[in-house]
Amino acid sequence: MKEFILIGSGGHALSCLDVIYHNGHSIYGYFDDQKINIFNSSGYNLNYLGDMDEFKKNLLKYDNVFFLIAFGAHNKIRNRADLYKNLVTVGCNFCPIVSSTSYISESSFVGPGTIVMHQCLINIGVEIKENCIINSGSIIDHQSYIGENSIISTNVTINGNVKIGKNSFVGSGAIIFNNINIGENVVISAGSVVRENIPNNKKFINENLSK
């Protein structure tokens, strides 16, 4: 059994809590700049460990637990990336978390700090780098690659041999066709169907690439 500390306390953190508990692990507490009662209101009495300033002061106290960055809004990807890099630099522990309701091929790789939520399917030869979110019900088919800090929302279908660069976001229900390359820092809106490559730093809304 592993013990975790969550950073963040919004809706995504609550979903992360559910995966962690479902897998038989425990949560020591959470840090956030605001003491939000979303956990208590959902029937979980988590320890509030303080704001982020308090967190920085007490890092050395938590060398026997694992951390999870538990906020996941698409406009917070850079915050997630910077925080993860800083925490790794000072020696914080991260590990992959994969819901026991999901299937991941033995030949696939999930990096530290990444969480794979409930009922995902990760097929053969997939590589998912560190500090990613693979949200509930998503499918990632053979030999695809997900770059670090990226967020794959609920019920996304990523077909075979797709490459998604770091710091990218794919909205709920999107479908990405085979052999597509998605650049870094890309945002793909919910429900989009992607049939063409997308360069770095672009937004793709439905079937239109923003200028």
Express each pLDDT in 112-153 by its tens digit.
999 999 999 999 999 999 999 999 999 999 999 999 999 999
**CA distances, 81 to each of 26, 88, 182 (Å):** 25, 11, 18
Q: Tokens for 176?
A: 């990405």
Which 3 state secondary structure label does DSSP give 79?
helix
Please name the helix (run of DSSP H) or strand (run of DSSP E) that holds residue 113, with its range, or none: none
Mean pLDDT of 91-116: 97
| C-alpha dihedral (57, 37, 21, 7), degrees to nearest 10 | -30
pTM of the model: 0.95
Mean pLDDT of 165-175: 97
**Residue 148 neighbours by CB distance under 10 Å:** 21
Can you say how many angstroms the Cα of residue 35 is from the centroid of all Cα atoms in its chain?
22
